[in-house]
Amino acid sequence: MMALLPLIISSVLALVSAQALGLVFGLLAIRIYWFGHLSNLLTEVRGSLGCTALCFVALAAQMVSPELAIGLAAGTSQAIAIARWMTRPGADWAPEELGALAMGQSSAHLALVRGYRRGAVRATASLSILHCLILWILAAEVFPNLGPGPLAAGPWALSGVLALLFVGNELLVALLSNRRVRP
Amino acid sequence: MLDFIRRILWLTPKFFAVAVALFALYAQLLPKDDRRLPLFLNSSPGSASAASARALDLLVQDKPEARAEIERLGAFFVLYAIPRQSTLDLETRARLLEALRPIRERMGLLPSAERASRLRDETSEDTLFWTRFVEERSLDFTAQARARTIKRLLTDRLHLKGDDLRVLDTYALPALVDALGTVKSTADAERVRKLAAAIARLVDPSFALHDQPTPDEARETASRIRAYWDRAGPDFAEHAPLDRVYQSITQTEFLIWASRVGRWIIGMDQSRLAERARLDGAQSGRLYLTSVLSAIVLGPLLALALTVRALGRAERRRSLTRRLALVAILALMLGAVATSRLTPALEVSLAATLAGLTSAFVLDRELRERFDFRMTRVLSRRRPLARAVAVVNNMAPGIPTLLPLVLLEALVIPLCLPGQGQPTGFRHSLVSAFRSGDVEYLMLLSLSLGLATALLQIAADALLNVFRRRLGELR
């Protein structure tokens, strides 16, 4: 079980950083004209670096712990994807949102809330767990000093932890966005 | 439209910037093998005179490696050192003449046995010979004369067998390497054979080709020679003061990599990466393409089926379906990672299912937010076809949004699958590239994926604009 602790820590970090950074990127892309172009560039860089996020892990691991490095690498990658989802055309504004806008509520705040509620945003954040897992597996092969990685814990323990992380993320988001839990 | 033209035009500068940043990152982080030059700017570019000065310095200090270095530099060293021999002490001058003897032999200018027997003092003869050589042959050591000599070698109408080229020694090397050119036909192969023979005599006998080489053999040899020259070339470069600026950029790791890639793209060189990419493609490429196609086609179809079904059923069943989908993703992911022996057919079907489910997971979540309780209630009373039309209309903008993101999500799958224990495939290549510091492979992989993402993103955004206009019209 101890073998899974680094995976759990980095996955939680990845989930948190993906959602926090993703919302910041998305909000900037919505509010600032030129950041929309930067967001496109970020998606291209994400594509370029996707398979080699290990490089960032190696770079960051020189300064911080491997858990943090892997969590941040996976989280940042998914945050860029979240920003893309947030800036794409969605459903019409709900009546209560239009009402809030008419009452002088900040449109940035509403955009943030709408982005937070989008299903694809949460699903993309959840997938950062898979990126964490593959980064740990590759990192264990490239940097032997990191140990055997999460695979050493056995398939059932790994399966349980991944399921808990997925569901935990859903519960957390539902709690934060004050919505009914539908995992 | 103008926006998309602008985005396409911006691709080149953007990719140049991304390539520079990636190269810096990889070169700094990965273990170094033969990377000795600065990455982007060489403040002291190499030259023949600088290399000769170093070799002369070694000789003055009587270092054992001096002779080998002088022999390697050949004619360039002669042209540098002979005018300066009067500044050396007698002992060093004797060592210098001794070190120059192999070069004279290589030029075919050693005195005949009869003349040698008549000589009383060999050192005086050497001194006289080299002084006269530099004075009298100075006109032969120009770029124009060198080009003419190589042209004569290639046509060889006078059947001189390259005797005049031998005298030029290493001075001919830069032009010999330049003349290798592209190899496509047997005539090109014959040209490379003649040039490679001359280069092999000066540098490394293994560069020599047998009589009547095939174009493939000649291209392989030309590629090896150019790869050697990328590193050794600066020691044989002559430059005017203005050339220094140019060479401070070209004599860098980044430009060496860029010129190698350029030669590979235009078909001048055979790349070792091409063979590796072929092997990887045979194993992981199939898995990757299956994953991408499945994420684009199977995922939306699955999301459509799930949502149409869920809209016609009770709320509780709907969430159960999704929960099952989630469990399936997890179980398959785990199966993919934990199972080490999979048949190729099972691998492909596993990749397709996993990519399809992942994509369906995202689209399904996206759709769930679009159907509020009012729409759900209305649609639950409609026929399945009407529900499907409503779902497709709502899902349509989601697919182009997903397109550029799918390239990376799909790559996770071939990286997860262990590949039947064979030493090929993306995962194996990626791990070994990181271990050995193979910047070229990582750059190739990164830039190909980045370019594919960029092009797909531009196409997807064009599609999204259509949907956006349509959504605008509906309002």
Residues B344, B401 within the same domain = yes
Specify the length of chain B in residues. Answer: 475
Q: Which of B53-57, B197-201, B468-472 has the lowest mean pLDDT?
A: B468-472
Q: Residue B31 domain-assigned?
A: no
Q: By the 8 A CB rule, do B26 and B39 touch?
A: no
Residues B361, B225 within the same domain = no
Residues B54, B132 within the same domain = yes
Residues B399, B299 within the same domain = yes
pTM of the model: 0.78
| Chain B contact present for A46, CB below 8 A | yes
Nearest to A81 by CA among A45, A53, A108, A109: A45
| Chain A contact present for B338, CB below 8 A | yes
Q: Quick check: A48 and B334 CB within 8 A?
A: no
pLDDT in tens, A37-72: 788 888 888 887 766 676 677 777 777 888 888 898
Instruction: Read off the tokens for B147.
Output: 């080009």
Residues B187, B222 within the same domain = yes
Residues B238, B121 within the same domain = no
Task: Give A-chain residues touching B369 at CB under 8 angstroms.
Answer: 90-91, 117-119
pLDDT in tens, B64-117: 888 888 888 888 888 888 888 888 888 888 888 888 888 888 888 777 666 666
Q: Residue B455 domain-assigned?
A: no
For residues B223-234, b (16+ Cβ closer than 10 Å) or e, as one string? Answer: bbbbbebbebbb
Q: Quick check: A48 and B435 CB within 8 A?
A: no
- pLDDT, mean of residues B390-405: 86
- Model ipTM over 0.90: no
SS3 of residue A110 by DSSP: helix
| Chain B contact present for A44, CB below 8 A | yes
Domain count, chain B: 3
| Chain B contact present for A120, CB below 8 A | yes
Task: Give A-chain residues touching B434 at CB under 8 angstroms.
Answer: 54, 142
Task: Give A-chain residues touching B450 at CB under 8 angstroms.
Answer: 44-45, 47-48
Q: Residue B182 domain-assigned?
A: yes
Residues B344, B231 within the same domain = no
For residue B167, give Cα distances in angstroms to A127, B109, B129, B427. Answer: 68, 8, 13, 52
Size of interface A-B (CB pairs under 8 A): 159
Q: Residue B224 domain-assigned?
A: yes
Residues B198, B334 within the same domain = no
Q: Quick check: B453 and A117 CB within 8 A?
A: no
Of B95, B111, B136, the position where a domain reaches its end is B136
| Chain A contact present for B265, CB below 8 A | no
- pLDDT, mean of residues B180-193: 87
Residues B293, B324 within the same domain = yes
* Residue among B29, B409, B468 minimizing CB distance to A58: B29
- pLDDT, mean of residues A80-91: 77
pLDDT in tens, A114-148: 777 777 888 888 888 888 888 888 888 777 777 77
| Chain A contact present for B364, CB below 8 A | yes
For residue A27, give Cα distances in angstroms to A86, A114, B234. Answer: 8, 11, 51
d(CA B112, CA B49): 31
Rounded to the nearest integer, the mean pLDDT of chain B is 80
Q: Residue B152 domain-assigned?
A: yes
d(CA B65, CA B88): 19
* Residue among A92, A130, A138 minimizing CB distance to B475: A92
d(CA B424, CA B403): 28
Instruction: Read off the tokens for B216.
Output: 């493939």
Q: Where are the beta strands (DSSP E) in B320-394?
A: none
Residues B344, B425 within the same domain = yes
- Return the ∠ at Cα A141 (arms to A139 and A142), rounded to 5°: 65
Residues B288, B417 within the same domain = yes
Instruction: Read off the tokens for A90.
Output: 């969605």
Please, what are the domains in chain A? 2-176 (1.10.3720)
Residues B286, B320 within the same domain = yes
Q: Residue B428 domain-assigned?
A: yes
Q: Residue B68 domain-assigned?
A: yes
Q: Say which residue, B163 or B8, is predicted with more confidence.
A: B8
Domain that residue B156 falls in: 140-246
Q: What is the pLDDT of residue B297?
A: 92
Q: Residue B466 domain-assigned?
A: no
Of B101, B136, B171, the position where a domain reaches its end is B136
Q: End-to-end distance of chain A based on CA atoms, in angstroms?
A: 25
